[in-house]
Amino acid sequence: MSHSIVDAPKQPPSRHPAEPSVNDHQVGTGDPENAKKTEQRGPLRRGLSLVLSSIGPTLVLIGFAAVFYYGHHNDWRIPKFAALTGSVETVADDWCEEHAVPESICVECDPILMPKGPDYGWCAVHGVHNCVLGHPDVAQLKETTSILPADLERAARALAVAPRKENNSACKIYQTRIQFASIESVKQAGVDVELIERAPIVEAITGSGEIVYDPTKQASLASRVPGSVWLVTKGVGDLVTKGEVLAVVDAVQVGDLKTSLLRALAEENLQRQNVSRLNQARSAIAGSRILDAEAALSKAQADVLSAEQSLRNLGLQIETESLRGLSERQVLDNLRLLGIPGEIRAQLNSKTITSNLIPIVSPIEGFVTQRHVAPGEVVDPTRILFEVANTSQMWLTLNVPLENMDQLAVGQPIRFQADGSRYEVEGKLDWISTAADSQTRMVQVRAMLPNVGGKLRSETFGTGQIILREESDAIVIPNGSSHWEGCCQVVFVRDKHYFDSPDSFKVFHVRSVRLGATNGEFTEVISGVLPGEVIAAAGSDVLRAQLLKNNLGAGCDCVAE
């Protein structure tokens, strides 16, 4: 054979005409029924494949959610194996979240554990709930005490003397109790307690003030006529008596008035003699001459009176009756040193001294506070030469807030302490201004202060107190131990059975109180507590915070005053 087998062309394998091929199904040729079934099974397979492929991620998400849920409810603590296997018993939750004590001993959740005492409600007289002044059995004392009439009178005085911050009668916060789990928890919270005691209390209105000289006991001295200073006898700080000479002024006008008086006296004497002579010869002379002589005598007498009054106006006291009948020389000697005291006259030469001298005398007893003159200076009535003040009594002026005017009354005691002084002086309120300062809205009041020992100084500033009320045995609490809760002023009173046994409930009762005056570190309690009770003092803010937490969302409808 000339052709090998390798070279022979390959023929496709023969198949049976009735046997369908795979390609026939893929291209949709062949049997129509089989092609339809194949088209129906395609989406089902795709859906099943999609479900199977999403099972894994879904399980992972479910696992994460389970871990998050467990961690959130178990504070993200990993449980012990014993707990997972169930070999440990479950411990019951015995804690009251609302009152921060074990629920088994919570007296607020279970009042049967510690029944509350009687509720007397609102006291309209003293403005508190469960008033201990009317119901002393409310007080947390081992033995019920008796209320003294003095306590009721003191409370009445305190309420009458000044307006007090009011509690709301609709408030129910006084029914609350604050409980601790143990004494140790009280110490850990930093709560300290104080025993309610009695102490003196002074209620006063305080104002800034100034001490000045009493104007009714102060004098400003000047020369009544122009002249020159001839002699100065007193200086600043010297004590002078009423009528004592401080200086002597040489004034020409004084000499002229003395001369006028001397002439008037001489003329009066002449006219009196003329009238007397004419009256003796009345039968021999005309009546008109007697009338003219009498008229001339009246005029001379008027001139004497005028000159005398002019000298008196200058402070020179003279009695003209004592000068009548004297010679002109004798009259001149009496007038020359008129008003000059004997101790100064002894220093003068009566033969050479001028008649123009006029003394400057003090009208009051006191001290010379200012001197503005020296010998030889020219002075006139417009110039003040000396200031004299009686310092035995001083004026105190205080500036008081306008809103306190209703509490003031003339006669109230006043205490004043000057800046930098350790001493306190007392006086009486004797004047209240009828007007308030237009800028400061303060009202000025005045008091008289006795200056015993001369310790007070004019124009001294300081602080004064107008005493409204003094109580020697008021009920007091430390400052900061009471709290305003929006509608009531409250304190936290320790239960009287607090230390009866280790199992005693550690409870503080909320008590509404009415406060009075504050002195230093203590505040007066008008009503609400009694001496001998124990209250939370330092650290009482912890109880206040718990009180607010307990009443959060309670919907108290009382309105803050």
pTM, whole model, 2 decimals?
0.69
Task: Give the pLDDT of residue 38.
Answer: 52
Task: Please tell me the least confidently modeled range out of 152-166, 277-291, 455-469.
Answer: 277-291
438: three-class secondary structure by DSSP: coil
Q: Which of 307, 171, 189, 146 is nearest to 546 (CA)?
A: 189
- For 357-416, how does the pLDDT look when each residue is reduced to its tens digit (9 = 90+)? 999 999 999 999 999 999 999 999 999 999 999 999 999 999 999 999 999 999 999 999
230: three-class secondary structure by DSSP: strand
d(C-alpha 505, C-alpha 113), whole Å? 9
Task: Give the pLDDT of residue 320.
Answer: 82
- What is the mean predicted confidence (pLDDT) over 294-321? 88
Task: Give the pLDDT of residue 526.
Answer: 97
- What is the mean predicted confidence (pLDDT) over 145-161? 94
Counting Cα atoms < 13 Å in the Cβ hemisphere of 530 gives 23
State both tokens at 184.
Answer: 């140790």
- The answer to whether 509 touches 472, Cβ cutoff 8 Å, is no
pLDDT at 346 over 90: no
pLDDT at 32 over 50: yes
pLDDT at 555 over 70: no
d(C-alpha 177, C-alpha 171), whole Å? 15
Task: Give the pLDDT of residue 453.
Answer: 84
d(C-alpha 248, C-alpha 117), whole Å? 89
428: three-class secondary structure by DSSP: strand
Confidence tier at 14 by pLDDT (50, 70, 90): very low
Beta carbons within 8 Å of 457's beta carbon, 6+ residues apart? 211, 418
Task: Please tell me the least confidently modeled range out of 70-79, 108-117, 253-262.
Answer: 70-79
Task: Give the pLDDT of residue 11.
Answer: 45
- For 36-64, how does the pLDDT look when each residue is reduced to its tens digit (9 = 90+)? 555 555 666 676 677 667 777 777 778 77
d(C-alpha 443, C-alpha 399), whole Å? 6
Task: Tell me the DSSP string of 368-402.
Answer: EEEE---TT-EE-TTS--EEEE-TTEEEEEEEEEG
What integer best gives the mean pLDDT of the chain?
85
- The answer to whether 487 touches 128, Cβ cutoff 8 Å, is no
d(C-alpha 363, C-alpha 342), whole Å? 19
Task: Give the pLDDT of residue 59.
Answer: 78
Task: Give the pLDDT of residue 5.
Answer: 35
Confidence tier at 7 by pLDDT (50, 70, 90): very low
Counting Cα atoms < 13 Å in the Cβ hemisphere of 167 gives 33
Total residues found in the chain within this entry: 561
Confidence tier at 318 by pLDDT (50, 70, 90): confident
d(C-alpha 28, C-alpha 105), whole Å? 86
Task: Give the pLDDT of residue 36.
Answer: 53
- For 176-212, how does the pLDDT look when each residue is reduced to its tens digit (9 = 90+)? 999 999 999 999 999 999 999 999 999 999 999 999 9
- The residue ranking higher by pLDDT, 19 or 110, is 110
pLDDT at 350 over 70: no
Task: Please tell me the least confidently modeled range out of 116-130, 256-270, 359-373, 437-451.
Answer: 256-270
Beta carbons within 8 Å of 385's beta carbon, 6+ residues apart? 221, 222, 223, 229, 246, 247, 360, 371, 372, 373, 379
- What is the mean predicted confidence (pLDDT) over 270-278? 84
Counts of helices then strands in the chain (DSSP H, E): 10, 24
- The answer to whether 304 touches 264, Cβ cutoff 8 Å, is yes
Q: Which of 482, 499, 479 is nearest to 490 (CA)?
A: 482
Helix, strand, coil percentages (3-state) for the chain, rounded to 5, are 30, 25, 40
- The answer to whether 136 touches 451, Cβ cutoff 8 Å, is no
Task: Give the pLDDT of residue 241.
Answer: 94
Task: Give the pLDDT of residue 325.
Answer: 78
Q: 10 Å Cβ neighbour count for 169?
A: 16
- The answer to whether 314 touches 257, Cβ cutoff 8 Å, is yes
Task: Please tell me the least confidently modeled range out of 1-15, 125-139, 301-315.
Answer: 1-15
